Structure 1
Amino acid sequence: MARSAAYDDILLLDQAAESDWAVATGSRSFRITATHRMADVENVWRALTGSSIESPGQSIDFIRLWIKALGIAERDQFYVVAHLDDAPIALVPLQRRWDKGARVLSWFPGPHVGCNAPIVDVARLQALSADDRRRLWIKLLRSFRGADVVYMKAVPQLIIDGVDLFAEMGQILESDTLYRAAFTSFEEADRTQRNKSRRKHDRQQGDKLNAMGEVSFEELGNGPATLAVLETMFQQRAARFRDMGVFDPFAIPAIREFYDSTARAASGVPVKLHVMRLNGEVVAMRYDIEHGDRLFCLISSMSDDPSIQHGSPGKQCLLRVMQTVFEQGYRVFDMGEGLTDEKRHWCNQQIPVRHHYMPITRRGALAAQAHRSWHRLRSRIKSDDKLLAWAKNLRGTMHRMAGRADESGSKPAPGED
């Protein structure tokens, strides 16, 4: 019987000794350390993320709150560090989950962040040869025990001086696109992204909203005021999910507690809420996480009141955000995966994101192959209007039959994809 390519890859990992490989290729030697305790890697983690991150999922304080809120057992937490010349070059923090009989290591927050990636010393990783980078990821893979497959969802393609940093990291499946607005000022963003027609359209929508009453916009940081407004945001999101006929991921109590914990004073996670009100009532908002000169938008919401929709409160809120954040010194506003009108209007960076699979066992190879096939099918459905309409109708029917539209049915595990 013919063996799959994925199965052969696993045999390769279990065969030739690393010392033989290093001698043959002149490769450099990596040392790997692994632990179930976050405290053991905290200094390394903070050192590698001091200047910049690609996702809040790379923030140790963000992940610490996630672990606490969801009660993730220490035995299911995996932290692996690769050292080169006795200095850390890469850190991978993962959570073990059971998925359809397979033990899967994946990102802690799953789809609750727009993308995620290994935490690396970018300059030193870029300086390695492609063979050395491949061997680095293989050594990291070898270090995992008690798992069948590593699944790294939505890793952005990071190209530094022509080098694709994660090109050698396991088996790759093209996934989606990450959208970012990167400017030095609002004037630059306005000049680059808006033409005369776009400005006129935005102004007309603003006039319509202003005609309905008093419009105000504010930015809130960590503290009681933000906690109070978060409740409105989740109510607006819940209404949207009901209209779509899909499960509300924020309805899980532990998930709600996580977001509340990030917004509390001294949480260690700098939260920014951008809130637009009409006659004192919240009509649109955005939940953002700050790191250095980057701002990551994780959640946006808008009132479902049909009487105000012609004023486009969501787009007007984003316009105010764009007018504000770059003047405050931020240089990147990350708006996450998936194309929307707002992202098309404002984002000048489109970054491919990819799923990375690293099977460890035969069972993991089969699980990875099945998961890739499922994602390819989803991509085909999304790209075909007829198939997409059929899938949406089927999903709505199934949810109504299961009673999940009113949150009465079974819920997926937090962070499950």
Structure 2
Amino acid sequence: MRAQMHHDATAFAEELPDVGHAVLNGKAVLDTPVGELALTIHHQMEPVEASWRELEADPWNSLHQGYDWCRAWVQTHDHPLAIVEGRLDGQIAFLLPLEIDRQFLVRRAQLVGSPFTNFNSGLFSAPFRQAAAAIAPHDLEALLIEALHDHADLLSLTHVPLDWRGERHPLAALPHVRNQNASFQLPLAATMEESIAPLNAKSRRKKYRAQMRKLDAAGGYEHIRPTQPGEQQSLLECFFQQKAARFAAVGLPNVFQPADTQAFFRMLLESDRGGSDVPLELHAIRLKGEYEGRIAAITGLSRKGDHVICQFGSIDDSLLPDASPGELLFWLVIERSAVSGAAVFDFGIGDQDYKRRWCNIQTEHHDILLPLRPAGRLAAMTHRGMARTKTLIKGNPHLYALIQRWRAMGTSGQPPAKTDD
């Protein structure tokens, strides 16, 4: 018997005892104006690898939902999986690679690796993205609730741009709230000069020349991108050390400290399958002369097609801070991205001064929050309230700066260091 899709999401959640009986042969099925949409839940990645790799090849889909990225996270973290496979008239339509994370007493079905993703889309076929608007939102909500309500209390898809590359997200009609953080992008042209033209190009070139003079005066530098596994891992360990010192200096918890997080990034470095798409590559400024062999700045980049995302960065505050090696490294990797055919350099989530200096595009992100059970309704309300409060705070620069100082002093007992890198 097919599900009766006439309830809204709230009513559906309140009538859960009747919902489970509508699942047929392990699938939640819905007749839509564009065909039969069937959802199946998988608890392992391997059964859907072929469909996964087919969908991830579409440039619209985020690299963070790529198979290798997710596999690195799954193999280093112990979270149950609930991968939603959607098929329209038997053809693969989408995959939502979800893991179940328990926060307090609430089970959240979230995209794999969400704590370290800058841009989430899920994986959708181009035909389904075009057809999705014909599916009634309350029907799609009810279908997802049918498929997932035995596995989690809340479907929580964070950092989702509802409009991306000229297309509306297929799940944009689901309940959502604006995320307090936007992402920042710089469109790239064929050359660095063309790429920085929309910015304050004269000021940028002047700063670049000043950085070069200061580094040359200290003996020079080289821009390195190690390709050997041992060199890559050594540079990643250097990043972990620099980042730990940096967080300690500003009085913030080190999100890169957990062993499973570090193992995840180590595995990403080993996941490069060749070609232009790269899960993670490291770049650094290595000094010569007075500071021979010392690493002044590091950044980690991912690339899919023409989209380059900066995943992280770090600097050594003790090495030529007046030369701003972190800013110089951004110049070098942006230039390299431009001449290699990338169309956008993405600094990712979070509003920081250096991103505003480099970028002329901001992309709003939203969090999709669909309660699956009564416990999820309260969690969704709490999430929305916190997101709106944080958005309000971040919209007031003076209040935001004050709260940052209070937080830093509460952790370290000292005012936070002020830097631009």
**Is the TM value for this pair above 0.5?**
yes
Q: CA deviation at 1:339?
A: 2.8
Corresponding position of 1:372: 384
1:175 aligns with 2:174: no
- Say which SS state the counterpart of residue 82 (structure 2) adopts: strand
Contact 2:222/2:285 (CA < 8 Å) preserved in 1? Answer: yes
Change (3 A) 1:398 1:348: closer
Moved more, 46-55 or 230-239: 46-55
Q: CA deviation at 1:158?
A: 2.5
The partner residue of 1:48 within 47, 55, 72 is 55
Moved more, 283-292 or 148-157: 283-292
Q: CA deviation at 1:33?
A: 1.2
What TM-score do you get using the length of structure 2 for normalisation?
0.83
Change (3 A) 1:67 1:276: same
Question: For 2:163 and 2:226, how far apart are their aligned partners in 1?
Answer: 32
1:273 aligns with 2:278: no
Q: CA deviation at 1:78?
A: 0.7
Structure 1: runs of 5+ lacking an equivalent: 406-417
1:143-182 aligned at under 5 Å gives the runs 143-144=147-148, 145-159=150-164, 163-182=168-187
Contact 1:359/1:365 (CA < 8 Å) preserved in 2? Answer: yes
Q: Deviations over 1:136-165 (max 9, x none)?
A: 354233201231101111111225656454
- Say which SS state the counterpart of residue 329 (structure 1) adopts: coil
Question: For 2:16 and 2:200, how far apart are their aligned partners in 1?
Answer: 51
Question: For 2:12 and 2:217, how far apart are their aligned partners in 1?
Answer: 64
Corresponding position of 1:408: none
1:62 aligns with 2:69: yes
**Structure that is richer in helix per residue:** 1
Change (3 A) 1:161 1:325: closer
Corresponding position of 2:13: 10
Number of aligned residue pairs: give it: 392
Q: CA deviation at 1:348?
A: 4.0
Change (3 A) 1:141 1:332: farther
1:96 aligns with 2:100: yes
Question: For 2:273 and 2:167, how far apart are their aligned partners in 1?
Answer: 38
Q: Deviations over 1:340-368 (max 9, x none)?
A: 33322333432211111010111100111
Q: CA deviation at 1:134?
A: 5.6
- Say which SS state the counterpart of residue 339 (structure 1) adopts: coil
Question: For 2:165 and 2:239, how far apart are their aligned partners in 1?
Answer: 37
Change (3 A) 1:303 1:130: farther
Contact 2:239/2:314 (CA < 8 Å) preserved in 1? Answer: yes
Change (3 A) 1:222 1:60: farther
1:16-415 aligned at under 5 Å gives the runs 26=33, 28-52=35-59, 54-72=61-79, 76-132=80-136, 135-144=139-148, 145-159=150-164, 163-186=168-191, 187-221=193-227, 223-264=229-270, 270-279=279-288, 280-305=293-318, 308-400=320-412
Give me the CA root mean square deviation: 3.0
Question: For 1:14 and 1:348, how far apart are their aligned partners in 2?
Answer: 50
Q: Match of 1:282, as an amino acid?
A: I
Contact 1:221/1:271 (CA < 8 Å) preserved in 2? Answer: no
Contact 2:69/2:279 (CA < 8 Å) preserved in 1? Answer: no
Question: For 1:270 and 1:370, how far apart are their aligned partners in 2?
Answer: 34
Q: CA deviation at 1:398?
A: 4.3
Change (3 A) 1:206 1:318: same
What TM-score do you get using the length of structure 1 for normalisation?
0.84
Contact 1:130/1:168 (CA < 8 Å) preserved in 2? Answer: no
Structure 2: runs of 5+ lacking an equivalent: 1-7, 24-28, 417-421
Contact 1:56/1:296 (CA < 8 Å) preserved in 2? Answer: no
The percentage of counterpart residues that share the same residue type is: 27
Question: For 2:199 and 2:406, how far apart are their aligned partners in 1?
Answer: 38
Question: For 2:211 and 2:15, how far apart are their aligned partners in 1?
Answer: 60
Q: Match of 2:112, as an amino acid?
A: F
Question: For 1:260 and 1:161, how far apart are their aligned partners in 2?
Answer: 34
Q: CA deviation at 1:381?
A: 2.4
Change (3 A) 1:216 1:226: same
Question: For 2:315 and 2:385, how far apart are their aligned partners in 1?
Answer: 35
Corresponding position of 1:409: none
Question: For 1:175 and 1:371, how far apart are their aligned partners in 2?
Answer: 11
- Say which SS state the counterpart of residue 251 (structure 1) adopts: coil
Question: For 2:410 and 2:144, how far apart are their aligned partners in 1?
Answer: 41
Moved more, 62-71 or 187-196: 187-196
- Say which SS state the counterpart of residue 249 (structure 1) adopts: coil
- Say which SS state the counterpart of residue 169 (structure 1) adopts: coil
Change (3 A) 1:66 1:170: same
Q: Match of 1:113, as an amino acid?
A: T
Question: For 1:32 and 1:201, how far apart are their aligned partners in 2?
Answer: 54
